[in-house]
Amino acid sequence: MQSRKFTRHPVEIPLTIKPLVSDVLVPLEEVYSKNVSSGGLAFKSTQVWEIGTIVSIVVMLTPPFEFLGRVAWCEPMEDEPSNFEVGIEFMAKKANVLESALQIQSYQTMVQTHEKLKK
């Protein structure tokens, strides 16, 4: 069993991911995160991403912000063989901002759900 350096937070955040080099055949992709940690994030893709590819990640929060990552792994999904789970390793401290933003959004969603249940 592989141990993790960072705690993963299961959260779906809209992202736009694109390779930074023009010779990579994977086009811009609009996805939702599967989980996020201080070290990186994972998302579901319909495309194979080459390990080591440097990508631009735009987090579609208000306001949106952009940072760089590196494809750490890309594996076929067992339950959906035509899709892949892709792991991105963050390349900057700015990623800590992402984790904080995601925790805030997760908390806001929890509060909104709780408020709806009270009605």
Domain range enclosing 24 = 9-118
In a domain, 90, yes or no: yes
In a domain, 51, yes or no: yes
Q: Residue 9 and residue 34: Cα distance in Å, rounded? A: 9
In a domain, 109, yes or no: yes
Q: How many CB atoms lie within 10 A of CB 70?
A: 15
CATH code, domain carrying 47: 2.40.10.220
**Residue 1: its pLDDT value, please?**
39
Kindly calculate the radius of gyration of the chain based on its CA atoms and give it in whole angstroms.
15
Domain count for the chain: 1
Q: Residue 100 and residue 9: Cα distance in Å, rounded? A: 11
In a domain, 30, yes or no: yes
In a domain, 1, yes or no: no
In a domain, 100, yes or no: yes
**Residue 45: its pLDDT value, please?**
95
**Residue 50: its pLDDT value, please?**
92
In a domain, 38, yes or no: yes
In a domain, 4, yes or no: no
Running along the chain, 119 residues long, what does each successive block of 10 average in pLDDT? 64 89 73 88 93 91 84 95 94 66 68 74
